[in-house]
Structure 1
């Protein structure tokens, strides 16, 4: 029986980072969902789409043998990880709406998941890589502030604003010659961002999703917050065994 996979996010930019694979046999069909219809990518598919899926299957196998579990401690920027978690998909209102975020449950919301991982997960990417999925637009934390040191005041980026700016690239990190976000992201800014997502979705559970991602930064635990892994995904799909 052919394996059907239902994608939420698939980064062509990351696929293109890897060299063209040699010819091999596609083990099964891959399903891409769109707002109107699901398309089974198999023999009748266009050559370009078929090649795309073949490249993904090859890359899945290659990275699957090397990627680490996202909750493992000590992950350095640039490493590949695999994840499986209940995730919420959101965008921020305003000028950063081109960025998409996937965030796992807030503290205390899913005790079993929290105990199993001991680590929060925040994925960031470009909304143009979403596959037939419309994220919820949330009102994020204040990204700018006013310094009242003068009668006019000076506008400055808050810690959350600095984090969002660092993550909100038009293109995926390390793709198309764009440098990845700095690894010295302000931890409090990232957590302010996650708190805003948590507040918007406090009563709505996320769907179980899995995939592969490249580490942007690992934020250490603090007295009030768990360790947090920030990463940019290659793929995000619905987890079949959690359906």
Structure 2
């Protein structure tokens, strides 16, 4: 069974009603991203940051996986599928995908601000004064700007074993995630789904200039021809 590695970004969840990471003006839900997505921002105003992610978490619990999420889960019938996502939502899991690597953390988890390995499930609000067992403030389990990406080495290893690479809904501009394509073997075909693609067609890259839901349907037809 061929190994299909799928790199997903905000574009795949946008059709479920989750806003993309930042707008054209560089703001995320009206905030400068460094205010709400950096250790410095958390140190300066932890209550603002906690409330920001509480709102994101509450929104996540009101949305559902879309047809693109479901179609990727369906591909497990014919391929070994590993999803490497920059998204912090759980829509891939809810759609039925079984192998998912979250590069930038998970919104439905919290962790100690002291010990990054002290991680717990979290579907509730996190408040200032919610402490871990060692007495340190709990925080969202999100990889902020300036922090290490713990899952990147695992993601690199996965990409090195790919027979097919699919990129959906990401501009591949945010590092280190953007570097993952470089670890796929040279002979591996790449399919890129995005309504405003940042790459160009070549012998190796097939561009599908569609939204995630439409693009994944086209992808399934193309994969049927080569599988």
Q: TM-score, normalised by structure 2?
A: 0.28
Higher relative contact order (CA 8 A, sep 6+): 1
Structure holding more strand per residue? 1
Q: Which has the larger radius of gyration?
A: 1
Structure holding more helix per residue? 2
Q: TM-score, normalised by structure 1?
A: 0.27
